[in-house]
């Protein structure tokens, strides 16, 4: 499993409500992606930086989800550079369900 962190600058002066509205406009796209297992929408407390935290089955799936076309539109929309980092997802602890889910080594 791969964890992907995508960071970008939010539009200057954006309110939390505006950020949520913008994020809601992307939900259908991500729901339609059969490879995406989970996405968390995040914003820094000062609302200057946005972040997406994604869980994918492979790095290829992550890279397909954030291809050159997606990066170009995101940079045009935000006016800033998009930064992407990939991590090997070792395990997930979920205290709300009381589960610990180990993940096998990534083949990427």
Give the pLDDT confidence score for residue 17 in this predicted structure. 96
Give the pLDDT confidence score for residue 80 in this predicted structure. 82
Phi, psi (deg, nearest 5) at residue 18: -65, -40
CA distances from 83 to 74, 90, 98 (A): 11, 22, 33
Give the pLDDT confidence score for residue 36 in this predicted structure. 98
Give the pLDDT confidence score for residue 77 in this predicted structure. 81
Give the pLDDT confidence score for residue 50 in this predicted structure. 95
Across the chain, which has 108 residues, the per-10-residue mean pLDDT values are 96 93 94 97 96 96 96 86 96 95 78
Edge-to-edge order in the sheet of strand 2-9: 38-43, 49-56, 2-9, 83-88
* Structural domains of the chain in order of their starting residue, each with its CATH number: 2-102 (3.30.70.100)
Q: How many other C-beta atoms lie within 10 A of the C-beta of residue 89?
A: 19
DSSP string, 53-86: EEEESSHHHHHHHT-HHHHHHHHHHHSS--EEEE
Give the pLDDT confidence score for residue 108 in this predicted structure. 53
């Amino acid at each position: 499993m791969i964890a992907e962190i995508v960071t970008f600058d939010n539009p200057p002066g954006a309110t939390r409500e505006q950020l949520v509205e913008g994020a809601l406009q992307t939900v259908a796209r991500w729901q339609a992606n059969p490879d995406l297992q989970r996405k968390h929408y995040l914003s820094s407390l000062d609302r200057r930086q946005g972040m997406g935290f994604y869980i994918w089955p492979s790095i290829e799936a992550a890279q397909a989800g954030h291809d050159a076309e997606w990066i170009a539109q995101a940079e045009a929309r935000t006016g800033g550079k998009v930064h992407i980092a990939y991590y090997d997802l070792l395990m997930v602890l979920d205290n709300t369900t009381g589960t610990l889910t180990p993940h096998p080594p990534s083949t990427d």
